[in-house]
Amino acid sequence: MDPVVFFVVLTSLYAAIYFFDRFFKSCMHYPYDAFLRNTGLTVNFMSLHWHTSAFNRMLLRWGSAGNSCTRNFLVKSFNVGMLLAFLLLPIGIILLIITIFGGAQGGSNVMATSATTSPGQLEILLPGVNLPLQEIGYYIATLVMCTVLHELGHALAAVLEDVPVTGFGFKLYYCIPLAYTELSHDHLNGLRWFRKLRILCAGIWHNFLFAGFCYLLISTMGMTMSPLFIYNQHVIVTEITPKSPLRTKQPTERGLQLQDVITQLNDCPVTSEDSWYACLNNALRVRLGYCVSSDFIRMNDESIDISHHGADGTLQCCNELNPNVSCFEYVEDLTADAPLEIPQHVCLHVRRTLEDATDYCTVGMCGQGFCLRPLMRNTTTILTFKRQNLLQKALPPVIYVGHPRDVLHTVVVSGFVPRYQHVSSAWPDTIALLLKYNVVFSIGLALVNAIPVFGFDGAHITSTVIHSFLIGRVEQHAKRDLISLIITSVGSLLFALALLKVALGMLRPLLA
């Protein structure tokens, strides 16, 4: 779906909900108000709000269950979370400063798979902008999971400190979901500073623990999925776009097929998704030659009488009207003293030459035959895909003449090769992608909440620390509030400037 279409549909949906909300409040006032009160739902312009107290008793049972050892373990765990929040504070500030004052990232990798920033910089992740719009479900599910676990941390810590939890809420601002925990402010402010900080830092700690748990699951997926999948030995083709040049249009054509297991790309073994991308990069950087016998060259040479330069400046020794042939250059073996037995340039049929070649070469050294290197355009190369089926039976290789980026953008592969034909690689890929989203969003949410920014946990943590540690030096409460306000304002300003710079960097390519 196009991003513009998505946002138009979402805006229309919100407009319809808001219209019917106004309509029912004017025509069916009492029944509709009763429905809203019973469900805890509130409809606002471009936002929805849901509040409930149904989970209060369940949380109370969780917090009060178990023996003293369990309670002591939870208290010590939240103590570690409090220390972690203070450690993340300088890291978050440094990242903001680097993002604001750091220079633009120079250069780019032609095989980059997604929009990224330089290491140590913040990035806004938005569906349809720098995240694929088809992953909007992962995006929303991850935000819901991360925010719910964050608020669950506050609630559980509050129950341990005997602070009443008065309710939970969920707000959806356009396409951004937010959750919150409603606590008794009187009880919370009546706690000692370290007990209050346990509650305020518990959400950050839960996000950090959840990120570590998801990362552990990602790291062990090869082992946990081993009964059904072979992981990181080869890659399997899971999707080929309709416009892919490697997609076969007729049954007799030789091209990539779904469920093809790719074992090698040119001279590069393909053992994982990372090696797949590395092999594509290597195919563009390194101009390979092919070891071809002299008999094959003499029998298949189709060179024209006069070699000339093509329209793009490359040397041509073939008839340009024939797309199946290419001019090959003989790469001499500098260590050999034998006289030249073949012409410097020969015109050969590409597919037959590659199928007859005995090996690859780069510097002219061949065990058998002569090293011939095809003269291709700067953005074109020859890709040979060696493949097999799920039964590990070798299939005829696929030869493609073009740019590796065409393969990258139109062919999707997975490192999970099914052991059985009825098992789909989409299962572990879906789980892995959701886990990766949770790792990134959980760490990001923990970092942002550690920074003193209005509306985030960092502002409340800063206020608690100021009022606790400066009470002996700054006796007036109003002055301590002013110090807390200044610190939070500086943090909010840095955060806003970082977001502004990142947003401008994202919009610049769209406006160019």
pLDDT tens by residue, 12-39:
998 999 888 888 888 777 888 888 888 8
Helix axes 68-101, 457-469, angle to 10 degrees: 110
pLDDT greater than 60 at residue 52: yes
Q: Higher confidence at residue 103 or residue 134?
A: 134
Question: Given a cut of 70, is residue 132 above it in pLDDT?
Answer: yes
Containing H/E element for 327?
strand 325-330
pLDDT score recorded for residue 217: 96
| DSSP line for 199-264 | HHHHHHHHHHHHHHHHHHHHHTHHHHTTTTEEEEEEEEEEEE-TT-TTB-SSTTS--B-TT-EEEE
Give the mean pLDDT of 87-113: 69
Mean pLDDT of the 240-259 span: 79
Give the pLDDT band (50/70/90) at residue 402: confident
Q: What angle do CA 14, 19, 24 make, to 5 degrees?
A: 125
Q: 290-308: per-residue pLDDT in tens? A: 999 988 988 988 887 666 6
Give the long-range contacts of residues 74-77, CB within 8 A, separation 24 or more.
74/156, 74/160, 75/160, 75/198, 77/205
Kind plus residue range of the DSSP H or E element containing 25: helix 3-27
- pLDDT at position 116 is 36
| Mean per-residue pLDDT over the chain, rounded | 84
- Listed by start position, the domains of the chain span 46-220+433-511, 239-415
Nearest to 495 by CA among 100, 5, 59: 100
| CA distances (Å), origin 309, targets 42, 45, 318, 376, 482 | 72, 65, 10, 12, 76
Whole-model pTM: value is: 0.79
Which residues does 203 contact at the CB level (< 8 Å), separation at least 6? 150, 151, 153, 154, 449, 457
* Distance of alpha carbon 439 from alpha carbon 418, whole angstroms: 26
| Residues 170-216: tens digit of each pLDDT | 888 887 777 788 888 888 888 899 999 999 999 999 999 999 999 99
**pLDDT > 90 in the chain, percent:** 37
Cα-atom radius of gyration of the chain, to the nearest Å? 31
Residue 347 parent element (H or E): strand 345-349
Output DSSP code: residue 455. Answer: T
Residues 238 and 228: beta-carbon distance below 8 Å: no
Q: Considering only CA atoms, which of 375, 300, 298, 299 is closest in space to residue 331?
A: 375
Angstrom distance (rounded) from CA 287 to CA 296: 22
Q: Quick one: which of 156, 194, 174 has its CA closest to 63?
A: 156
Sign of CA dihedral 71, 75, 80, 84: positive
Separation between Cα atoms, residue 268 and residue 266, nearest integer Å: 6
Identify any residues that bridge with 51 across adjacent strands, giving them in sequence order. 169
Distance between CA atoms of 279 and 284, rounded to whole angstroms?
A: 9
Q: In whole angstroms, what separates CA 293 from the centre of its chain?
A: 47
pLDDT digits (tens, 9 = 90+) for 406-437: 899 899 999 999 999 889 999 999 999 999 99
Residue-wise pLDDT tens digits, 386-396: 999 998 899 98
The DSSP call for residue 504 is H
3-state secondary structure of 49: strand
